[in-house]
Amino acid sequence: MRRIFAEIYVDEYRAGVENGTLDYLEEKMGSMHTDGIDLGDAILVDYDSDSQWERYINYLASWIIDHNDEACEGMSPASFEEWCNNEDNEDWED
């Protein structure tokens, strides 16, 4: 079995989401379960959230995807405190 991390964007309006985004996604993924594909744990974190913690979680997820390369071996993302101190800095790079 392989584990895959993916960014999934749901346009709630176009998708006709009525019961909440994660419930909708779980319902759609459930039909794939019989084909050996299953939705594991999921969280909803918006890039423009008022929560600094949610924005940090987004930073970490993006950092993982952007640094999934042998050339990045040994690198690590910024700590929450470091990220908070630089979040509004336009020169801040992931």
What are the pLDDT digits (tens) for 69-92? 999 999 999 999 999 999 877 555
Quick one: DSSP state of residue 81?
Answer: H
The pLDDT value recorded for residue 90 is 59
Question: In angstroms, rounded to a whole number, what is the distance separating the alpha carbons of residues 79 and 11?
Answer: 31
The pTM of this model reads 0.69
**Which stretches of 1-94 are DSSP H helices?**
12-15, 21-30, 52-66, 80-86
Q: Is the pLDDT of residue 5 over 90?
A: no
For residue 56, what pLDDT band results from cuts at 50, 70 and 90? very high
List the chain domain ranges: 1-44, 52-86
Pair of tokens at residue 87: 């979040």
Q: Is the pLDDT of residue 37 over 90?
A: no
